[in-house]
Amino acid sequence: MTPPPPAGHAWDGGTRGWDLYYGVILLGVLALVIATAAQENLPAGARAVSCAALAAMAPWYLLQRRTVLYGQGSLARGLIYLAGLWILFIVASSQGYIETWVLLALGPQCFLAVPFRWAVGAIIVLNVTPVIVALSTGARAGELTALVAAGFLTAAFSVAFGRWVFGIIAQSYERASLIEQLSQTRAELASANRRAGVLAERQRLSGEIHDTVAQGFTSIIMLLQAADADVERQPAAARGHLALALETARDNLAEARALVAALAPAGLEPGALDAALRRLAATTDAHPGTAARFEVTGTAVPLPRPAEVMLLRVAQEALANVRRHARARQVLVCLRYTGGQVGLDITDDGSGFDPGQGADGYGLPGMRARAGEAGGRLEVCSSPGCGTTVSVVVPVPGPAGPAGRDQPSQAGTA
């Protein structure tokens, strides 16, 4: 099981480690001072002053550690803290040279207390201090050389190590910022994807409702109007219109249920595209004033369900436009199986229109969008007074089917 990521940065939880490190260094130096003073028979007063200065660094550290070292305090407070350490270090180093080992604990604190450039200056001051103290007390040349060499090496190591640590910390902060930005971007992208999905689903549902339920209601209204016109003069014809309106309402209800259940269109079983188009043409033929025929040419080949749904929806929309706008007397629905593709043509002898002018409504744009989604293409050929032909072609997946024959294999008046 993968452990959870840390709540903060790695160095934020390392204060106890630094406390232990400083404590070990300070106690070690105190032990060295006491042992050296006893071996060299140094005056008790000098040893007491040195130990007192070193010991005072502990409470000074404990009082300031939270607000200065680990609390990201101000530059002024950091400098005050380092100045206090420096004074105590001057007192301790004035009594002997062994006290300079405490720089191992003071160096890292410089980088925690103040920014990098100020920390480098503090490191240089701390390492130069023993040399100046030695010069003022008349130290021998060998001692001065050792102090200069030790100070130079300690300062160089501290600066190099501090620069490396600061670089790691800066890189970590940068990565943390990038991760936060990435998380925000992912959240925004997920929200945008959700919005896009909702919009796409709304568009899909609007197309489905337009091509099914809305078209069915239009047919019902037209049939009821025709029945109302014939109810007194031709009761038999009126009853026929009412029966067809009832059948259309039932089909519409089935379409609505299929739409709600996110199923395939009602009446369109696998491989039953021909029969569904034939029934659709028969419904159109039953409307007064329009005779519809359905034909199939070529040998039928299986189509993917999206392609079958698209062809049926295009036929529904095209025939609905014929009933509402074309004032056509004849309409032909022809399903063509040719080599490598399947075509559907809906041709009427109605009033026609100019396809170059922008069409209002959802009809033609919706048909073109459906054809494109199924990998096909739709063309409209029409002119005022010369009828309209809506043609849609969709490729057949897999090996190309046999070439279509010239004569219809099935034909009939619906």
394 DSSP 8-state letter: E
Query: In which domain, by residue range, is 56 found?
Result: 10-139
Task: Please give the pLDDT value at position 26.
Answer: 87
Instruction: Decide which of 139, 173, 194 is a domain's last residue.
Output: 139
Q: Number of structural domains, the chain?
A: 2
251 vs 368, residue with greater confidence: 368
Instruction: Decide which of 87, 118, 139 is a domain's last residue.
Output: 139
Q: pLDDT digit string (tens) for 64-115? A: 777 777 656 688 888 888 898 889 888 887 777 777 788 888 888 888 788 8
Q: pLDDT digit string (tens) for 153-210? A: 878 877 887 788 777 777 877 888 888 899 888 888 888 888 887 777 677 677 767 7
Q: How far is CA 181 from CA 57, 175, 188, 193, 316, in A?
A: 42, 10, 10, 18, 49
Task: Please give the pLDDT value at position 37.
Answer: 66
Residue 161 covered by a domain: no
| SS3 state of residue 362 | coil
Residue 165 covered by a domain: no
Task: Please give the pLDDT value at position 270.
Answer: 57
98, 91 Cβ separation under 8 angstroms: no
Task: Please give the pLDDT value at position 332.
Answer: 94
| SS3 state of residue 67 | helix
Q: Answer yes or no: is pLDDT of 291 > 80.
A: yes
Q: Tell me the average pLDDT of the chain.
A: 78
Q: Answer yes or no: is pLDDT of 409 > 50.
A: no
| SS3 state of residue 343 | strand
Residue 197 covered by a domain: no
Residue 206 covered by a domain: no
Task: Please give the pLDDT value at position 213.
Answer: 73
Task: Please give the pLDDT value at position 143.
Answer: 72
What would the DSSP string read from start to end of 307-340? Answer: HHHHHHHHHHHHHHHIIIII--SEEEEEEEEETT
Could you tell me the pLDDT band of residue 7, with boundaries at 50, 70 and 90? Answer: low
Could you tell me the pLDDT band of residue 347, with boundaries at 50, 70 and 90? Answer: very high
| SS3 state of residue 378 | strand
Residue 360's CATH number: 3.30.565.10
Residue 60 covered by a domain: yes
Residue 162 covered by a domain: no
In whole angstroms, what is the distance from residue 92 CA to residue 100 CA?
Answer: 8
Q: Answer yes or no: is pLDDT of 319 > 80.
A: yes
Instruction: Decide which of 79, 113, 139 is a domain's last residue.
Output: 139
Task: Please give the pLDDT value at position 297.
Answer: 92
Pairing mode, if any, of strands 291-297 and 330-338?
parallel
Residue 393 covered by a domain: yes
Q: pLDDT digit string (tens) for 113-145? A: 888 888 888 888 888 888 887 787 776 777 778
Pairing mode, if any, of strands 341-348 and 330-338?
antiparallel
| Both structure tokens of 337 | 């199986």
Residue 194 covered by a domain: no
